[in-house]
Structure 1
Amino acid sequence: MRDRLETLADAARRDITVASEVSAVEALRIRYLGKKGELSGVLGGMGKLPPEERKALGEVANQVKTEIEKLLAEALRRAEEAALEAELKGPRLDVTLPGRAVTPGSRHPVSRTMEEIVRTFARLGFEVAVGPEIELDYFNFEALNLPKDHPARDMQDTFYVDEASLGHVQKADSPVLLRTHTSPVQVRYMLARKPPVRVVVPGRVYRRDSDITHTPMFHQVEGLLVDKDVSFAELKGTLDAFVKAFFGSDTRTRFRPSFFPFTEPSAEVDISCTSCGGKGCRICKMTGWLEVLGSGMVHPNVFTSSGYDPREVTGYAFGMGVERIAMLHYRIDDLRMMFENDARFLEQF
């Protein structure tokens, strides 16, 4: 075994002396000193030797290892110096040249619009509330007065989640889904707090739509105000103030009767066309009006689900699609441009 160690040391000296590149030195280190290297292979049989021979052979092995380590360190130094010298002989970096221009980033129009909507309502005294995007059927539908046979609960509209994919999340009696609106946050907020309540809820929502005017994921901002003796007139005043602050003081509003399961009475809100000012154009289909949001007085059943007494409090709620507002605000005519990440489009913002 001593002879094998001396033979290994001679071979290492020859190989390391001629190594001229850093990669070659590293390869030799692995070959001779690695876990499965030649030195380990030689020493693998030491356990079968008598104790006195193991001690003497161990001293020789340590000497060989120390010598190889020193040879490798010297070879590495030579290789690094040679690489540096070769680099210095090559093309130099001219530090007097002007730097490369860096194109600054900017906020996406959807993000900008959602932030501006939230800031506008904040000036009207509304707080911000957030909640989970993976939601229970109970909060997304039942607590909002949507019965089990309501069309919005159809699998064609809603992404239901396989609970087995939730891993450690505790299983619930209610089905699990990707929320179809941010209204569940309003219910959760009321369950956690006593009135008065004045909040806006921005966030992502999901529906099984994907065409020229819809995407399976989009953004909403919803609002809720609950107190004693809240009237529909207050709802109209709040939304009219928002529209004038966001779209301009000359913008007019129009309320049309509508139906939503969670509000009664309910209304769609139109604004005078942002393109023609109400005169009639292609954008508003010559009507002079554009639909922007839905609203209404909170249904008593929603208050009951949220732990409020509908005989003591009233309130109003409203909701809008952020992409729709952004398209009107920035006069974008194709929803798909919001999601294609075309730098030529995004840099305009």
Structure 2
Amino acid sequence: MTDLSQLEAGLTAQIAAAADVATLEAMRVGALGKSGSISELLKTLGAMSPDARRERGPLINGLRDRVAAAIAIRKTDLEAAELDARLAAQRVDLSLPSPPERRGRVHPTMQVLDEMIAIFAEMGFGLAEGPDIEDDFHNFTALNFPPKHPAREMHDTFWLPEDERGERKLLRTHTSPVQVRLMRGLNEKLPSWVANGQEPPIRVIVPGRTYRSDSDATHTPMFHQMEGLVIDRAIHMGHLKWTLETFIARYFETPVVETRFRPHHFPFTEPSAEMDVRCERSGAEVKIGQGDDWMEIVGCGMVHPNVLTNCGLDPDVWQGFAFGFGIDRLATLKYGMPDLRDMFASDVRWLDHYGFSAFAQPNPATGLS
């Protein structure tokens, strides 16, 4: 009994004198660990007689419990003292500015899309849209593509597996299928005059994603296009030229725009043309409206009579024109981005550099930020 009392007194004194949590933990291991002094006493109980075990067991277990309780109390006190010391030593300078918060940026494609919509809206164009997954009729046949046209091949177009009816859908290669749906009145998202089956005039733009099997510095497998369509009586190429020149001048914020038509071929327009705009090239920079160089900027033409017929309109009564801009390409031209693929790389550093603040002042040319 005297030995246990002396052991308890010694351990209690050591616990009270422990200067930090690490020292206290070493004491705990020395007393209550696998080979600790109290643990060794507990091991002797197995060799005692039953009477001796009944006498010594409660005494040793009681010693273990009291020492463990003393260690727990001392640990709480030491941890509180260490916390108070850290708080006293640390200082918070409330005059320092807070860390900057990261703000999102408007992607250049979305910025340019809003600019284009605003400009064409002032010119009286409505807005239409259609599905990204199309069928052969709307994407090719109704638009006067012949059966063996290269665009129908796998190396140009992303075809989907056959469905249960044996039909193969595709990712649309242009937004032109929407003009078919417009004239045929098959799209629930179109203006009410189409849903009601009324006749033209039609004056709409069709922005959206398009897909082609192509990838280099100026082409990506997925890109954004804006189709324009006007259907009315007595429409001619002069109307088309004025529309495109007016848009180009507003978009590039230049009072002078000189353009020219070059003959081209698109299955869905006749005559077809590519419009060039006069520009000046200085390294990677392109200035629209000045210089001695020319740059192709938009494909266009008069809507082919076969397309009008396929869409249920009489080509002897109705004429029209169509054009198609690459939205991403217009963004690179206006804002100086050298590689189209970077626009789809999901690199926030690129977006920090080329993106637009959602809180910027309105652009006086378009009224948009």
Q: 1:250–1:287: structure 2 CA closer, same or farther, 3 Å change rule?
A: closer
Counterpart contact for 1:138–1:174, Cα < 8 Å: no
Q: Deviation of residue 342 (structure 1)?
A: 3.1
Q: Deviation of residue 95 (structure 1)?
A: 9.2
Please identify, of 177-186 and 107-116, the stretch whose mean Cα deviation from structure 2 is larger. 107-116
Aligned length: 258
Q: 1:102–1:307: structure 2 CA closer, same or farther, 3 Å change rule?
A: same
Structure 1 residue identity aligned to 2:272: S
Match of residue 168 from structure 2: 175
SS in 2 for 1:268: strand
1:341 aligns with 2:346: yes
Q: 1:319–1:172: structure 2 CA closer, same or farther, 3 Å change rule?
A: farther
Q: 1:265–1:98: structure 2 CA closer, same or farther, 3 Å change rule?
A: same
1:108 aligns with 2:101: no
Q: Distance in 2 between matches of 1:294 and 1:200?
A: 14
Counterpart contact for 2:286–2:333, Cα < 8 Å: no
1:318 aligns with 2:323: yes
Structure 2 residue identity aligned to 1:314: Q
SS in 1 for 2:159: coil
Q: Deviation of residue 346 (structure 1)?
A: 1.7
Please identify, of 147-156 and 337-346, the stretch whose mean Cα deviation from structure 2 is larger. 337-346
The correspondence of residues 37-116 of structure 1 with structure 2, limited to 5 A, is 96=94, 98-116=97-115
Match of residue 131 from structure 1: 130
Q: Which of 239, 255, 271 is 2:244 aligned to?
A: 239
1:260 aligns with 2:258: no
TM-score (norm 1): 0.67
Q: 1:172–1:200: structure 2 CA closer, same or farther, 3 Å change rule?
A: farther
Q: 1:86–1:185: structure 2 CA closer, same or farther, 3 Å change rule?
A: farther
SS in 1 for 2:321: strand
1:270 aligns with 2:263: no
Q: 1:102–1:233: structure 2 CA closer, same or farther, 3 Å change rule?
A: same
- Encode CA deviations 1:52-83: one digit per residue, 9 max, x unaligned: xxxxxxxxxxxxxxxxxxxxxxxxxxxxxxxx
Q: Distance in 1 between matches of 2:219 and 2:91?
A: 52
- Encode CA deviations 1:206-251: one digit per residue, 9 max, x unaligned: 0111223211101100100001111111111111111111112223
Match of residue 73 from structure 2: none
Q: Which of 230, 233, 250 is 1:228 aligned to?
A: 233
Structure 2 residue identity aligned to 1:111: M
Q: Deviation of residue 98 (structure 1)?
A: 3.6
Q: Deviation of residue 275 (structure 1)?
A: 4.2
TM-score (norm 2): 0.64
Q: Which of 226, 250, 253 is 2:256 aligned to?
A: 250
Counterpart contact for 1:228–1:312, Cα < 8 Å: yes
Counterpart contact for 1:243–1:253, Cα < 8 Å: no
SS in 1 for 2:323: strand
Q: Deviation of residue 120 (structure 1)?
A: 1.0
1:203 aligns with 2:208: yes
Q: Distance in 2 between matches of 1:222 and 1:326?
A: 16
Q: Percent identity over the alignment?
A: 49
Q: Deviation of residue 175 (structure 1)?
A: 2.8
Q: 1:86–1:182: structure 2 CA closer, same or farther, 3 Å change rule?
A: farther
- Encode CA deviations 1:29-71: one digit per residue, 9 max, x unaligned: xxxxxxxxxxxxxxxxxxxxxxxxxxxxxxxxxxxxxxxxxxx
Match of residue 221 from structure 2: 216
Counterpart contact for 2:226–2:327, Cα < 8 Å: yes
Q: Deviation of residue 172 (structure 1)?
A: 5.8
Structure (1 or 2) with the larger CA radius of gyration:
2
Counterpart contact for 2:278–2:292, Cα < 8 Å: no
- Encode CA deviations 1:91-147: one digit per residue, 9 max, x unaligned: 699594643211322111111112211211111100110000011111000000001
Q: Deviation of residue 154 (structure 1)?
A: 1.2
- Encode CA deviations 1:155-210: one digit per residue, 9 max, x unaligned: 1000011144xxxxxx5675310000000011101111221100000000001112
SS in 1 for 2:183: helix
Q: 1:274–1:197: structure 2 CA closer, same or farther, 3 Å change rule?
A: farther
- Encode CA deviations 1:295-322: one digit per residue, 9 max, x unaligned: 0000011111111111110000000111
Match of residue 358 from structure 2: none
1:184 aligns with 2:189: no
Gaps of 5+ in 1: 1-84, 165-170
Q: Distance in 2 between matches of 1:340 and 1:296?
A: 34
Q: Deviation of residue 339 (structure 1)?
A: 1.9
Q: Deviation of residue 345 (structure 1)?
A: 2.6
SS in 1 for 2:160: coil
Q: Distance in 2 between matches of 1:114 and 1:346?
A: 16
Counterpart contact for 2:280–2:292, Cα < 8 Å: no
Q: Distance in 1 between matches of 2:118 and 2:335?
A: 18
Q: Distance in 2 between matches of 1:123 and 1:100?
A: 43
Q: 1:287–1:208: structure 2 CA closer, same or farther, 3 Å change rule?
A: farther
